[in-house]
């Protein structure tokens, strides 16, 4: 409950001039809720791409679930770790959820055809390290860290 309160009080006031905003969540539900808040911000500021950094189990997919839910209302968001990309569309909103864990280098990324996705929808990317040279400027960066079994530190800023 304490975590919920803290999250509810905090606004996502990120701007290019400000330093990154930092949050803590104490459950997957709260991380998903933060994702939904981020969705509002993405829409308002017309963000084209968000990369998610953090180790396995830190909550990247969980937070992205909230972002996609917030933008499209869809509820069946699964990890694209085997498919590399999942697409979600609702009205004019087109979202691509990538997981580049299995992509080894720039050549593999090229043959996957990543460049063609840029500017064709919102890009949400897990394990973006291999794609950093292709990430458009003014993208957002979400960094997720373990603070405990259920506690995560989530930092949101520009790349
Ligand atoms: N505060 C939290 N935020 C996000 N996930 C959490 C949290 N606490 C526990 N978890 C658990 O951690 C795991 C996160 O998994 P996932 O979102 O798939 O991570 P990743 O995509 O970074 O590998 C889930 O099993 C989730 O239930
Ligand atoms: Mg994941």
Probe target for ligand 1 pocket from 38, 57, 126, 146, with the most ligand atoms within 8 Å of CB: 57
* Residue 52 scores a pLDDT above 70: yes
Long-range Cβ contacts of 147-154 (<8 Å, 24+ apart): 147/24, 150/26, 150/27, 150/28, 151/24, 151/25, 151/26, 152/24, 152/25, 152/31, 152/58, 152/59, 153/22, 153/23, 153/24, 154/22, 154/23, 154/24, 154/25, 154/31, 154/34, 154/59, 154/63
What's the mean pLDDT in 59-87? Answer: 96
DSSP secondary-structure letter at 139? -
* Residue 64 scores a pLDDT above 90: yes
* Residue 4 scores a pLDDT above 70: no
| CB-neighbour burial class of residue 2 (10 A; exposed 0-12, middle 13-18, buried 19+) | exposed
Q: Which residue has the tokens 């829409």?
A: 43
Q: Closest Cα to atom 27, ligand 1: which residue? A: 28
Cα(63) to centroid(ligand 2), Å: 9
Q: How far is CA 28 from the centre of its chain?
A: 14
Please report the pLDDT score of residue 1 as a whole number: 44
Assign 3 a pLDDT band (cuts: 50, 70, 90): low
Q: Please report the DSSP string for 28-97 in residue order.
A: HHHHHHHHHHHHHHHHHTT--EEEEE--TTSSHHHHHHHHHHHHH--------TTTSEEEEEETTEEEEE
Whole-structure pTM value: 0.93
Among 14-18, 84-88, 146-150, the least confident range: 14-18
* Residue 12 scores a pLDDT above 90: no
Q: From the CB of 62, is ligand 1 less than 6 Å away?
A: yes
What's the mean pLDDT in 54-60? Answer: 98
Name the average pLDDT for the chain.
91
Q: From the CB of 72, is ligand 1 less than 6 Å away?
A: no
Among 17-21, 36-40, 56-60, 95-99, the least confident range: 17-21
Cα(19) to centroid(ligand 2), Å: 26
Enumerate residues 6+ apart whose C-beta is below 8 A from 152. Answer: 24, 25, 31, 58, 59, 144, 145, 146
What's the mean pLDDT in 27-38? Answer: 94
Domains, in order of start, for the chain: 22-158 (3.40.50.300)
């Amino acid at each position: 409950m304490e975590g919920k309160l803290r999250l509810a009080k905090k606004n996502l006031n990120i701007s290019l001039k400000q330093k990154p905003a930092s949050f803590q969540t104490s459950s997957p539900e709260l991380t998903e809720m933060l994702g939904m808040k981020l969705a509002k911000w993405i829409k308002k500021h017309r963000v084209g791409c968000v990369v998610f950094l953090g180790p396995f189990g830190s909550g990247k997919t969980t937070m992205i679930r909230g972002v996609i839910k917030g933008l499209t209302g869809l509820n069946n968001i699964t990890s694209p770790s085997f498919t590399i990309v999942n697409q979600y569309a609702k009205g004019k909103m087109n979202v691509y959820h990538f997981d580049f864990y299995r992509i080894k280098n720039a050549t593999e990324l090229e043959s996957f055809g990543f460049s063609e996705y840029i500017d064709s929808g919102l890009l949400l990317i897990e394990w973006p390290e291999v794609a950093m040279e292709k990430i458009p400027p003014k993208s957002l960066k979400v960094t997720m860290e373990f603070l405990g079994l259920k506690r995560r530190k989530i930092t949101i800023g520009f790349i």
